[in-house]
Amino acid sequence: MLSLENAAFTLTFRPEHGAFDLHPRGWERPAFEGARINVRYRLGGQAFERLAERWPDATLTQETVYSPRHGRMETLAFAGVDEDGLSLCVHFALPAQHPLALWKIRLENEGSRPVLLDRITLLEAGEALNGGRLRLPGSGRADPAWYSHGWQSWNWSATYAADLPSRRTRLGLLEAPMYICDGTPQPSRPGHYSGDFFGALVDRGARRGLLAGFLAQQQHFGSLEAWLEDRLALRAWANGDGARIDPGTVVESDWFAVQAFDLDVPQPLDAYLDAAARENEVRPPSARDVPAGWCSWYYYYQAVTEAAVQQNLAVVAQMRQRLALDLVQIDDGFEAQVGDWFLFDPAFPRGVAPLAREIKNQGLVPGLWLAPFIVHPGSKLAAQHPEWLLRDARGRLVSSGFNWNAITSALDLTIPGALEYACAVVDHAAHDWGFPYLKLDFLYAGGLRGAYNDPCRSRAQVLRRGLEALRAAAGAETTLLGCGVPLGPALGLFEAMRIGADVAGSWQPRYLGTSLFFGAEPHMPALRNAIQNTLTRAPMHGRWWVNDPDCLLVRPDTRLTLAEVQSLATAIAMTGGSLLVSDDLPALPEERLRIVEVLLPALGQRPRVLDLFDRETPARLRLDLEGPTGVWSLLALFNWDDTPHTLELCAADVGLPDAAYRVRSFWDGRVLDLPAGAALDLGVIAPHGCALLALRPAQPGPQYLGSDMHFSQGTEVAEWQADSVSVRLALSLPAARQGYVVLWLPCAPRSATFEGAAVAWRRECPDVYAFPVHGQGVLQVW
């Protein structure tokens, strides 16, 4: 028996059983007891399952090593060779500086015959699985739940309580290649769940949880399976995909990590997220890297034309003094066919390079959509290079899913010509057409199950190499947005990442004019599906990349209610990711344009998702802000029900200290008082609607409460000076933005000027006054 320790865990390894215990510091009991590791492979047509305890002549070494990414680590290595000459080594590592336990497995074929790797199980714990134990703290009020992370950008990610079934697509085989990672089980009964890359098992009674997941997916796609029934169980493995390990070659899993966390700390998953960022050498983005702009897709779809782009470009350019959008992104529809990227649709007779120049000439950034790994069966590419397309072992084309009215194919990226073609497309778009921003879509097609030209690569290795090649082709100077891409292998290669399903002009998914059969589909385009991951993947923003929550739609002629549009605007703005409008801008009425205007500039900050582990769709976001006017908390409270609901707010529910607060509600402009120790009645919130509130601890002197000019209700103020009788404040928004600021004043103002000219104020309610201003300038109140 051997033990390792760091500030977060004690790990005890029992070589005679090939099992280990993991005890999080501060927990009354180990989380895992008797957890197992094993490897499944085939050799000479026979299947083997090797458990660590049955490796003969195993050796144990314990040493301190220095990892360039994770610092000093106490490590334990257990190595042995089996009768077939396959050498196995389990490496445990407890980093001194990070509250994580890490382990990985290395296999070396020291025999004379090739080995086919099926899976490396890094964790198997729970009575139902192996006779070991898996326990969370606080048995008394046990209320277990599982945070299930989806495979690629569009996959529904959510926390399931033990009585909820997983959301699964019912579209079957047509869509399976898009949404199901081969190797990840798809359980549908409540209490049994799966996930990709990482997952978290939590106890909502004890408010503690365990994250289990891989730090990277450069070697294998990782799958997880969890059971929340009478006994908890968890299994996590790396999918070997049957890739061949030739004699003399080595395969190593990505690091597997466990983190114990408290559900109510500000960013519970940070230790894991930061470690994965380090492992993949992510360069952390700053708020300046958050794109704001226009995208052609969700109004024009494939019917986009050169003229449509030009008309919208003209509005973006002409409104810069109000809107500050800087990206104009052309989406799907410019190409002759998906796959034929060098041929153009007749609606783009000059191609796209002249548009890139026109966009640049306006001082804006041109962006272009491409789907370099997927191939339409009707493309010239499919006809000219059938040998580049991925096939199964029987030589049949592998489906990439049904889209563009066809069953699509994928490039086999282990064929040099196919990968070179995909890279040439990206290189050309960036450097010859002149697009410094590329949205690379349908990239999951580079990691499907198939009989690859190179049989020694796993799917994740094929995809990772493909993505690395695209990154190199684009050059470091190009901004890459990943879309439809498995998140793990993309880490460190993309500046921005689509983290959810497509948005649409309806709450539920619809197809052929009805939501009857498709209403419950979790991944299809729908407002509800887009917002889901905007909330549940919010913790990644700023750590792994800039999150792309998909576009904002504000036009009035969709099936969305105003409340739903405000919820979308709130979710996008509060989670800090990119902000792209996708309407026909010239046709937008003023009051809808205003919704876009007040979200800019984007804050770019990551909020707390207060109930990430408490509901399938979180309903409470909190962002703590600080500026010249002091400190305040921005809260978004959503009503995701299909019926109107009254909402109450008390400080404790949102983790704020019990005190008296002044509250301004952004979308309706109400100012309310939240007395200490009391609950505030916010009234009725419409179905799928929200309240966006700024809470400030009540003060005796003059106080800034917010404005109707920026959703943050405070970052618009660049300077603030106040004494008991006067206020001076300077605003820093685009000059052409009009609106009013709201102040709490201990006594009625006697006079007020903006930029030296007298202004007429309005009394909103006792002690609260609104002053008309515009985006830049100084307001003085006596």
The residue (of 226 and 554) whose beta carbon lies closer to ligand 9PG is 554
Gap between the Cα atoms of 674 and 697, Å rounded: 9
Cα distances from 102 to residues 31, 76, 111, in angstroms, run 15, 11, 29
Residue 377, Cβ neighbours under 10 Å: how many?
16
Instruction: Write the secondary structure of 420-476 as one string of H (helix), E (strand) and C (coil).
Output: HHHHHHHHHHHHCCCCCEEEECCHHHHHCCCCCCCCCCCHHHHHHHHHHHHHHHHCC
| Residues that contact ligand 9PG, how many (by CB under 6 A) | 12
Query: Least distance (Å) from ligand 9PG to the CB of residue 176?
Result: 11
Q: Identity (one letter) of the amino acid at 656?
A: L
Query: Least distance (Å) from ligand 9PG to the CB of residue 369?
Result: 5
Where is 554: in which H helix or E strand? none
Query: Least distance (Å) from ligand 9PG to the CB of residue 291?
Result: 14
The residue (of 20 and 299) whose beta carbon lies closer to ligand 9PG is 299
Query: Least distance (Å) from ligand 9PG to the CB of residue 548?
Result: 9
The residue (of 195 and 500) whose beta carbon lies closer to ligand 9PG is 500
Query: Least distance (Å) from ligand 9PG to the CB of residue 178?
Result: 5
The residue (of 169 and 184) whose beta carbon lies closer to ligand 9PG is 169
Query: Least distance (Å) from ligand 9PG to the CB of residue 322?
Result: 26
Q: Tell how strand 437-440 and strand 479-482 pair up.
A: parallel
Is residue 331 at the binding interface for ligand 9PG, with CB under 6 A as the rule? Answer: yes
User: What's the gap between Cα 629 and its chain centre?
Assistant: 32
Bridge partners of residue 629, in order along the sequence: none
- Shortest CA distance to 383 belongs to which of 346, 406, 409? 409
Q: Read out DSSP for 632-676?
A: EEEEEEE--SSS-EEEEE-GGGGT--SS-EEEEETTT--EEEE-T
Tokens standing for residue 366: 């041109």
Is residue 412 at the binding interface for ligand 9PG, with CB under 6 A as the rule? Answer: no
Query: Least distance (Å) from ligand 9PG to the CB of residue 454?
Result: 29
Gap between the Cα atoms of 214 and 122, Å rounded: 10
User: What's the gap between Cα 642 and its chain centre?
Assistant: 25
Query: Least distance (Å) from ligand 9PG to the CB of residue 509?
Result: 10
User: What's the gap between Cα 499 and its chain centre?
Assistant: 4
x-marked contacts with ligand 9PG along 116-155 as a string, rule CB under 6 A: --------------------------------------x-
Is residue 178 at the binding interface for ligand 9PG, with CB under 6 A as the rule? Answer: yes
Nearest-5° Cα angle at 330, 325 to 334: 165
x-marked contacts with ligand 9PG along 683-722 as a string, rule CB under 6 A: ----------------------------------------
State the residue for tokens 């939240």: 674
Query: Least distance (Å) from ligand 9PG to the CB of residue 521?
Result: 9
The residue (of 119 and 523) whose beta carbon lies closer to ligand 9PG is 523
Query: Least distance (Å) from ligand 9PG to the CB of residue 523?
Result: 6
Helix, strand, or coil here: 238? strand
Query: Least distance (Å) from ligand 9PG to the CB of residue 524?
Result: 6
Residue 442, Cβ neighbours under 10 Å: how many?
26
Biggest CA pair distance of the chain: 93
x-marked contacts with ligand 9PG along 477-516 as a string, rule CB under 6 A: ------xx-----------------x--------------
Scan residues 253-312 and list those touching ligand 9PG (CB under 6 A): 297
The residue (of 295 and 741) whose beta carbon lies closer to ligand 9PG is 295
Query: Least distance (Å) from ligand 9PG to the CB of residue 29?
Result: 44
Gap between the Cα atoms of 529 and 586, Å rounded: 28
Nearest-5° Cα angle at 43, 38 to 47: 55
Q: Identity (one letter) of the amino acid at 312?
A: N
Contact 414, 462 (CB under 8 A): yes
Query: Least distance (Å) from ligand 9PG to the CB of residue 699?
Result: 45
Question: Which residues touch 2 (CB under 8 Å, ≥6 apart)?
Answer: 12, 13, 15, 60, 62, 76
The residue (of 256 and 437) whose beta carbon lies closer to ligand 9PG is 437
Q: Tell how strand 374-375 and strand 479-482 pair up.
A: unpaired
Is residue 583 at the binding interface for ligand 9PG, with CB under 6 A as the rule? Answer: no
Scan residues 63-92 and list those touching ligand 9PG (CB under 6 A): none
Query: Least distance (Å) from ligand 9PG to the CB of residue 159?
Result: 23
Contact 338, 331 (CB under 8 A): no
Where is 307: in which H helix or E strand? helix 306-318
Q: Read out DSSP for 712-781?
A: TSSTTEEEEEE-SS-EEEEEES-TT-EEEEEEE-SS--S-EEETTEE---EEEETTEEEEEEESEEEEEE
Among 369, 544, 545, 744, indicate the residue that binds ligand 9PG (CB under 6 A): 369
User: What's the gap between Cα 645 and its chain centre?
Assistant: 29
Among 82, 306, 332, 564, indicate the residue that binds ligand 9PG (CB under 6 A): 332
Q: Identity (one letter) of the amino acid at 451?
A: A
Gap between the Cα atoms of 524 and 530, Å rounded: 9
Tokens standing for residue 267: 């960013």
* Residue closest to ligand 9PG when measured from CB atoms: 332
Query: Least distance (Å) from ligand 9PG to the CB of residue 484?
Result: 6
Is residue 441 at the binding interface for ligand 9PG, with CB under 6 A as the rule? Answer: yes
Phi, psi (5° rounding) for residue 303? Answer: -85, 15
Is residue 340 at the binding interface for ligand 9PG, with CB under 6 A as the rule? Answer: no
The residue (of 178 and 705) whose beta carbon lies closer to ligand 9PG is 178
The residue (of 294 and 297) whose beta carbon lies closer to ligand 9PG is 297
The residue (of 9 and 369) whose beta carbon lies closer to ligand 9PG is 369
The residue (of 332 and 564) whose beta carbon lies closer to ligand 9PG is 332
Scan residues 512-541 and list those touching ligand 9PG (CB under 6 A): 523
x-marked contacts with ligand 9PG along 377-406 as a string, rule CB under 6 A: --------------------------x---
Query: Least distance (Å) from ligand 9PG to the CB of residue 146?
Result: 24
State the residue for tokens 């933005």: 737
The residue (of 402 and 720) whose beta carbon lies closer to ligand 9PG is 402
Q: Identity (one letter) of the amino acid at 30?
A: P
The residue (of 115 and 485) whose beta carbon lies closer to ligand 9PG is 485
Is residue 335 at the binding interface for ligand 9PG, with CB under 6 A as the rule? Answer: no
Is the torsion defined by CA of 515, 517, 522, 524 positive or negative?
negative
The residue (of 27 and 297) whose beta carbon lies closer to ligand 9PG is 297
Phi, psi (5° rounding) for residue 302? Answer: -75, -5
Q: Would you tell me which residues interact with ligand 9PG (CB under 6 A)?
A: 154, 178, 297, 331-332, 369, 403, 441, 483-484, 502, 523
